[in-house]
Amino acid sequence: MNVRYKLASMLAVAILIIVIATSFPAVASDDTEMALVGGTVYASPSAEPLPNAIVLASGGKIIAVGKRGDVAIPKSARVVDCAGKVVVAGFWNSHIHFETGWENAANIPAAQLEQHVQEMLTRWGFTTVWDLGSLPSNTLTIRQRVESREIPGPKILMAGDIFPKNGHPVYLPPEMQLPEAATPDEASQMARNYLQMGLDGIKLFTGAYMGNKPVVNMDTAIVKAAVDVAHAQGRRVFAHPQNRVGVDNALAGGVDILAHTIPSEPGYTEVELSRMKQQHTALIPTLTLWTTVVQDPAIANQLVQSGVDELKAYFSQGGTILFGTDVGFISKYDTTQEFEFMGRAMEWRDILASLTTNPSNFFHADMNGRVEKGMDADLVVLDADPSADVRNFAKVAYTIRRGRIIYSK
Ligand SMILES: [Zn+2]
């Protein structure tokens, strides 16, 4: 190596150090030690409560969980008083969109972007979210701004949308260019492109809502083509079903997750339920969504109850439920109502599973979803106990991702 080259490379290293130093402002480090002290810990949905506990995090991981007195708090640790509060694993919202109000994310000032992330996601405890279809480049920009630590936020996963031919849903602006697949080959190509550009999964509109006109469904062969590409790369496929045919084609094509219930139909059939169970299909209820799709509150209530009944039917057969609200498409950010609706079909522990262990298992995030030594320090501190009232899942005091507070009340 000649001297000039050596000097140049030293300079490059020096610049790199400056760039790294300036792009990780404030405390913002995974290595910060944190001690959550005095709260009641629910380590997992099946665990007994551990009162007056200490959760110790370091390097982005949980390094100890135990009773106060059994766990020593290092002097260097940041202590968070959790007396009277409840500590659970960080929540997943497996159905969101960075859509309304998130346009042109590259040019949104950091403070504004941070505030929006907080209002929609972190103040409700979300440490991991699935964007089920928005403008991919825009969501990837938000993800980049979060991962660079410019903005405190959740882990963002994203699925790329594929629509059936002539299936442009009436609720999306007509000028919006949508990827419509007319053939299995086109669907394969679209799926490959999405995964190539760094997306994490695929979302198929197996039914597209056309207003007064009939729903446009996606053929099973097209569903299967996209599913095969995703599965070959170890990726999951979501479906927006809209009606019964949309559910049946999704199941026949091997889709992994139904991203909504189908409240306009009179429930799933026994055949559908047993097929969902057999294929380990997961269901995202999105019950709050059904309060927003019609004007008449009486009809909205009927739709919600129909969704609750479908949730109950699948859950009672042992089906996997993933929490998800379609927030970012709907503007109701508050999760209280979703918990209340889910509580009509499930116990609080099952709702906790839908927020934590079910998605971490389903998406193979093996070190996520429980408050145990060695797991990711993704945590939610609640102001009130969800075992007393499921709506308390929405009363978030702190949201912590990889040992770093990303929201505090
Ligand atoms: Zn959606």
β 50-58/34-41 pair status: antiparallel
Give the residue-averaged pLDDT of 207-231: 97
Average pLDDT rounded to a whole number, residues 7-17: 46
Q: pLDDT value at position 18?
A: 43
What is the Cα–Cα distance from 130 to 9, expressed in whole angstroms?
40
Question: What's the pLDDT tens digit per position in 316-329?
Answer: 999 999 999 999 99
Number of H helices, E strands in the chain: 11, 19
In this predicted model, what pLDDT tens digit does every residue of 244-281 receive, in sequence order? 999 999 999 999 999 999 999 999 999 999 999 999 99
Max intra-chain CA distance, the chain: 80
Centre of ligand 1 to C-alpha 326, Å, is 5
Quote the ligand 1 centre to 229 CA distance (angstroms): 22
Question: How far is ligand 1, taken at its centre, from the CA of residue 386, in Å?
Answer: 26
CA 291-297-298 angle, 5° bins? 115
Helix (H) or strand (E) run with residue 9 in it = helix 3-23
Residue 161 alpha carbon to ligand 1 centre in Å: 10
**Mean pLDDT over all residues of the chain?**
93
Q: Residue 27 pLDDT > 70, yes or no?
A: no
CA of 389 to the centre of ligand 1 (A): 27
Strands 201-205, 180-181: pairing kind: unpaired
Q: What distance in angstroms lies between residue 93's CA and the mean position of ligand 1's atoms?
A: 11
pLDDT of residue 100: 87
Does 8 score more than 80 pLDDT?
no
The strand pair at 257-258 and 404-408 is best described as unpaired
- Nearest-5° angle of CA 200, CA 371, CA 403? 70
pLDDT per residue as tens digits for the range 351-367: 999 999 999 999 999 99
Residue 272 main-chain phi, psi, to 5 deg: -60, -45
Find the 81 Cα to ligand 1 centroid distance in Å.
37
What's the CA-to-centroid distance between 325 and ligand 1, angstroms? Answer: 8
**H-helix segments, 233-367:** 244-252, 270-278, 297-316, 336-342, 348-355, 357-362
Q: Could you give phi then psi for residue 68, rounded to 5 degrees? A: -60, 135
Q: In the prediction, which pLDDT does 228 show?
A: 98
What are the DSSP calls for 143-196, one per residue?
HHHHHTTSS---EEEEEEEEEETT---TTS-TTS---EESSHHHHHHHHHHHHH
How many Å lie between the centroid of ligand 1 and the Cα of residue 99? 10
Q: What integer is the mean pLDDT of 234-245?
A: 97
How far does the centroid of ligand 1 lie from the alpha carbon of residue 365, in Å? 22
Q: How far is the CA of 208 from the centre of ligand 1 (A)?
A: 12
- Contact call for residues 351 and 342 (beta carbons, < 8 A): yes
From ligand 1's centre to the CA of 329, what distance in Å?
6
The pLDDT value given to residue 350:
98
Note the pTM of the prediction, 2 decimals.
Answer: 0.91
Question: With 0-12 CB in 10 A as exposed, 13-18 as middle and 19+ as buried, what is 298?
Answer: exposed
**% of the chain beyond a pLDDT of 90:** 90
